[in-house]
Homo-oligomer: A and B are copies of this chain.
Amino acid sequence: MSGPQSDIEALIGLMARLPGLGPRSARRAVLHLLRKRSLLMAPLADAMARAARDTRNCGICGNLTSGDFCAICQDPARSDREICVVEDVADLWAMEAAGIFRGRYHVLGGRLSPLDGIGPEELRVPDLVRRVSTKGSDEVILALSTTVDGQSTAHYIADALTGTGVKTSTLAQGVPVGGELDYLDEGTISAALRARRSF
């Protein structure tokens, strides 16, 4: 394709690395942006640069935030008594979209995977244990995916928390086996949270 200049080609190449956009749809998206250079492209570039610069992981829960601590950890209306453990920020967002959980989160940032060098420290499990002990939490909800790795991670965390005396539970009804939390609809997530069972 010799039509677009190399700058535009480079932009298309970067856009094509987004999930849901192939090379063809990336080209169409870039063209759309180039047609709306001042109304859409410049503001989007700005918002993206700002987010890339200012976003970091919350020092408490691991959620994405532009400050040191995220809005959820700073919200006085939310309770430390329940901590919901999720693999990923996407899962936290999905939980929040369901809108019925009023506790705090712990974002693991993955699942235990010794072969990939992902152990308890990488997932900040010791931090979680410390947090539960310090804050005197009543319950840790292990909202991990129902894959083999997700479930063995949940078991590991439940074991690690035994000494704290906290109750551990897991999302129940409604989570399809082998499914990722992030893809569920909000009703399913609400039902699964309400019907959670002891782990």
Binding site for B on A (CB under 8 A): 1-5, 7-8, 10-11, 14-15, 17-21, 25, 27-35, 37-38, 40-55, 63-66, 70-72, 89-90, 92-93, 95-97, 182
Check A49–B51 contact: CB distance below 8 A: no
Flag if A66 contacts B7 (CB, 8 Å): yes
Tell me the complex Cα distance, A8–B52, Å. Answer: 10
Judge whether B28 and A43 touch: CB under 8 Å. Answer: no
Highest count of chain B CB atoms <10 Å: which of A1, A27, A52, A66: A52
Residue A15 contacts which of B1, B42, B44, B46 (CB distance < 8 angstroms)? B44
Residues B42 and A52 in contact, CB atoms below 8 Å apart: yes
Q: Are B72 and A10 in contact (CB under 8 A)?
A: no
Q: Is the CB of B34 within 8 A of A51?
A: yes
**For A25, A64, A65, which residue has the most chain B Cβ atoms within 10 angstroms?**
A64
- Residue of B1, B7, B50, B64 touching A54 (CB-CB under 8 A): B7
Partner of A43, one of B7, B14, B64, B70: B14
Determine whether the beta carbon of B34 is less than 8 Å from that of A28.
no
Between-chain CB contacts (< 8 Å), 30 pairs? A1-B93, A1-B96, A2-B71, A3-B93, A3-B97, A5-B70, A5-B71, A7-B47, A7-B55, A7-B66, A8-B51, A11-B44, A14-B47, A18-B32, A19-B25, A19-B32, A20-B20, A20-B25, A21-B21, A27-B93, A28-B90, A33-B48, A33-B52, A34-B51, A41-B48, A42-B49, A42-B53, A44-B48, A45-B46, A48-B48
